[in-house]
Amino acid sequence: MLQPLCIIPLFLPSSPLSSSPPSRCPSNALLFYAMLLRSSKVDNFKKLLVSLCLFHGVLLERRKFGPLGFNIRYPYNKSDLSICLAQLRMFLDDYEEPPYKVLTYTAGQINYGGRVTDDWDRRLQMTMVESFYCPDAVKEGHAFSPSGICEIHKSCHLPSLTPSLTFLASLGSV
């Protein structure tokens, strides 16, 4: 049987649990909303963001199938998605119309493609990214699959943020 004093060292290196909300959460959420509202092309950003996330998910899923998905297993991760997201925001803010060729090249050849060493895998990846970063991707009702299961719809439109911002501001004063 363990003595009570023997158990204490076991818990010292563990993470403490807390029921209090994180102090920076409201400020981080307000910062996110401010970044989202700062862009004049919020609708295009949201729709292309959904498209980019779907592309990332497809790459991760194909990787699970081994040689049937890609000839070589590539270590795609969140940082690939993060840099593509930052570039998406930058290019949408800098250009009048979304620069699909630039977005396709940076995502397919540089960010995700920097890991790809097989020519057939690179060709497949570029074909896939071209189907996700295209002018149709910002059109309502665009289906990413032939079955139509995955499509852009009205939920990509930004609702009024006033209630959310009021709620987040009230959390800051708690």
Alpha-carbon distance 174 to 172, whole Å? 6
Domain annotation covers residue 19: no
- Residue 30 falls within a domain, yes or no? no
pLDDT digits (tens, 9 = 90+) for 6-47: 444 544 454 444 444 444 444 445 555 555 555 567 778 888
Identify whether 4 is part of a domain: no
Residue 70 lies in a domain: yes
User: What pLDDT, in 10s, does the model give residues 129-164?
Assistant: 999 898 988 887 778 777 777 766 555 554 555 565
167: Cα within 13 Å, side-chain hemisphere: 8
Token pair recorded at residue 145 = 């699959």
How many domains does the chain divide into? 1
On whether residue 1 sits in a domain, the answer given is no
